[in-house]
Amino acid sequence: MSHVPVPALRPRARHWLAACLCAWLCAGALPPAWGQGTADGADGRSATPAPAFELQVRAPGRIRDLLQRHLDIRRFRDVPDLDEVELARLVRLAESDARELLGTLGLFAPVLAIRQQPGQGDAPPAIVVEVEPGPQTIVDGLELGFAGHVSGDDGREAQSLRQRIREGWTLPPGRPWTQDAWDDAKAAALRDLAARRYPAARLDDSVAQVDAAAGTARLGLRLDSGPLFRLGEMQVTGTQRYDPVLVPRLARLAPGSLYDRDAIQRAQLRLTGSGYYDSAFLYVDPEGPSDPAPVQATVREAPLQRVVLGVGASTDAGPRLSADYIHNRVPGLGWRAVNRLQLDRRAPFLQSELTGLPDATLWRWAVSGRVERLDDGALVTTGQRLRLGRQKSDDRFDRNAYLQYDRAQVRPRAGAALPQDTGDGSALTANYVWAGRWYDRVPYPSRGYALGLEVAAGVTLEGSRSPFQRTVLRGTRIQPLPEGRLQLRGELGGVFAKSEARVPATQLFRTGGDTSVRGYGLRDIGVLRDGVVAPGRYLAVGSIEWQRPIRRAGVPTAFEHVLFTDAGAVADEFRQLRPSWGVGTGVRWRSPLGPLQADLAYGLDSKRLRLHLTLAATF
């Protein structure tokens, strides 16, 4: 290591340096850690210096707050020994500073007075700022133009986009102009343009021409869309355990499709919700190629195996415990296995499902088995089910086609007689299930609807083998109201077979309980046979529910209040359907542990008041 020689100090220089050091120590510069007290206090603590002046702003509330926080002169309050000349200079500068700040509020013609007020006694002098706001600047006009691809595209979607941005402009003529409102309006317009087709959109030019005398502002804005972006192939990083082809298949972002920020976000949610990935980030570089634009996918894979535990409670089944064992790649098969055990008082079950990887058309094979037991207080139904088929899900539609074997064993509770036609039997069916969703958002939509259809054709396997057909229609409608929303729910089902056909109970219908007809117990509504409620061949359920937020200080909270009317009927003949009604009220809470639902309902036929409580959480 080289050393730079330090020149020796001459005697006179040494004396001068020693004198300076003594003066510095005597002035109290020695740190307290050296055992010396400071010059400001005998106890070693610094005394707070008196301010050079006080700042007083006399103006309406929002103006006073703005000036007190942001006037530059505030920085000089704690400067010691501020002389009169410097203070006068700061007062002059404060006026221009205040006018610039007031201009951000759209106040370009204020009456402004700033004066220095002498201090009294030990009090420091005061700088007094008095403001009369003057007229508020109002937006007088807007010129909104476009550049880039969107400006020359005469297609319907481009025209609709330009029109939507103009109609959604948040600072139209007649509104008060402020700098914040102007910045927010520009940012919102740019965000809308960049959300679909044009991720490289930018602000090309903007101007606000203010006429202070007239109190008006004329706005001009030009948005440059840049080029049109079409998605290219997905570039995947972060895969080790699972086949990389799984990422683009689950993401469902087709090469050649137009860039859509919402579609990319939904794709990320599909990846993280698939069980294969703990996190996923999809990115299209706005400064990269536009057609095709590579989609960069970075994922963090989930473990091969995991256990998910759950707890819950409901008035139908009491306390509930569940355990899921998941294996994402079964050795020798490569399929995903989900095994679930649920224990409760009324309807425990054990279920296992194996699902394959989706193919290029997003269809996947699945095989499952289930064993369940239902105790409704009069009958104990033990059911077994085997299913083999294919399924497909996308953003809006679910499809499922499968073969299914059902077997149901129905036994009376101790001491009771088993009535006829209780659903004791077995069957083999071919099934097709379709569901579609048209909601504005999930999981808590404010408008939209959903439809579902189940169609099955099969044959009974016990007694005389008889063909039968089963159809179920479901629908939900959510309609916004001035306060809250209205939820309409309906279900119709029918099993068409000969009267002597032994259709298993798992293919027949009963209703009632927390999620169907409130005011009645679990599956209390059915066909009455020899004093026992048994399943029937026809079902009709309907519900009307008014949901409105519970507000605190005018702001919606995580709680909602509901009023509802439910009706349900089960019969062996369609013309014999007679509804059982339930009415009530309840509360919903989006709790950190999961949604909680508490309903108090009165069954008009049962003439009983029932509390329906549902809470579930997983960990």
CATH of the domain at 178: 3.10.20.310
In a domain, 48, yes or no: no
pLDDT-based confidence at 49, cuts 50/70/90? low
In a domain, 20, yes or no: no
Nearest-angstrom CA–CA distance, 269 and 285: 20
Tell me the average pLDDT across 591-615: 89
Asked if 551 and 433 sit in the same domain, the reply is yes
Q: How many other C-beta atoms lie within 10 A of the C-beta of residue 489?
A: 19
Asked if 126 and 186 sit in the same domain, the reply is no
Q: pLDDT tens-digit profile of 539-583?
A: 999 999 999 999 998 889 999 999 999 999 999 999 999 999 999
209: left (phi over 0), alpha (psi -120 to 50) or beta: beta
- The Cα-based distances of 416 to 183, 378, 413, 530, 532 in angstroms read 76, 8, 6, 10, 9
- The verdict on pTM exceeding 0.85 is no
Asked if 478 and 349 sit in the same domain, the reply is yes
The contacts of residue 152 (CB under 8 Å, 6+ apart) are none
Burial bucket for residue 333 (CB in 10 Å: 0-12, 13-18, 19+): exposed
CB 128 within 8 Å of CB 56: yes
Nearest-angstrom CA–CA distance, 179 and 104: 5
The contacts of residue 109 (CB under 8 Å, 6+ apart) are 134, 135, 212, 213, 215
Predicted confidence at residue 617, as pLDDT, reads: 61
The residue to which tokens 């999961």 are assigned: 594
Domain count, the chain: 4
Could you say which of 301, 320, 339 is where a domain stops? 301
Predicted confidence at residue 604, as pLDDT, reads: 96
CB 235 within 8 Å of CB 289: no
Q: How many other C-beta atoms lie within 10 A of the C-beta of residue 299?
A: 25
Asked if 589 and 450 sit in the same domain, the reply is yes
Asked if 106 and 194 sit in the same domain, the reply is no
Tell me the average pLDDT across 496-505: 94
The H-or-E segment that residue 450 falls in is: strand 448-460
The pLDDT of residue 416 is above 70: no
Nearest-angstrom CA–CA distance, 220 and 208: 6
Could you say which of 272, 301, 330 is where a domain stops? 301
Asked if 284 and 311 sit in the same domain, the reply is no
Could you say which of 98, 132, 166 is where a domain stops? 132
In a domain, 351, yes or no: yes
Task: Say which CATH number the domain at 70 has.
Answer: 3.10.20
In a domain, 484, yes or no: yes
CB 327 within 8 Å of CB 216: no
CB 357 within 8 Å of CB 348: no
Phi, psi of 426 (to 5 degrees): -145, 160
Task: Say which CATH number the domain at 437 has.
Answer: 2.40.160.50
Phi, psi of 282 (to 5 degrees): -110, 135
Asked if 216 and 243 sit in the same domain, the reply is no
Which CB contacts under 8 angstroms, 24+ apart, belong to 321-326? 322/618, 326/275
The pLDDT of residue 394 is above 70: yes
Asked if 291 and 313 sit in the same domain, the reply is no
Q: pLDDT tens-digit profile of 204-224?
A: 999 999 888 888 999 999 999
The pLDDT of residue 110 is above 50: yes
Instruction: Give percent above pLDDT 90 in the chain.
Output: 62
Asked if 492 and 555 sit in the same domain, the reply is yes
Amino acid 34 reads W
Domain membership of residue 100 as a residue range? 54-132
> In the 8-state DSSP scheme, what is residue 33?
G
In a domain, 318, yes or no: yes
Asked if 142 and 279 sit in the same domain, the reply is no
Asked if 107 and 169 sit in the same domain, the reply is no
Lowest mean pLDDT segment, chosen from 159-163, 279-283, 484-488: 159-163
In a domain, 263, yes or no: yes
In a domain, 417, yes or no: yes
Burial bucket for residue 3 (CB in 10 Å: 0-12, 13-18, 19+): exposed
The pLDDT of residue 385 is above 90: yes
Asked if 607 and 574 sit in the same domain, the reply is yes
Angle at 480 between CA 475 and CA 486, to 5 degrees: 50
In a domain, 59, yes or no: yes
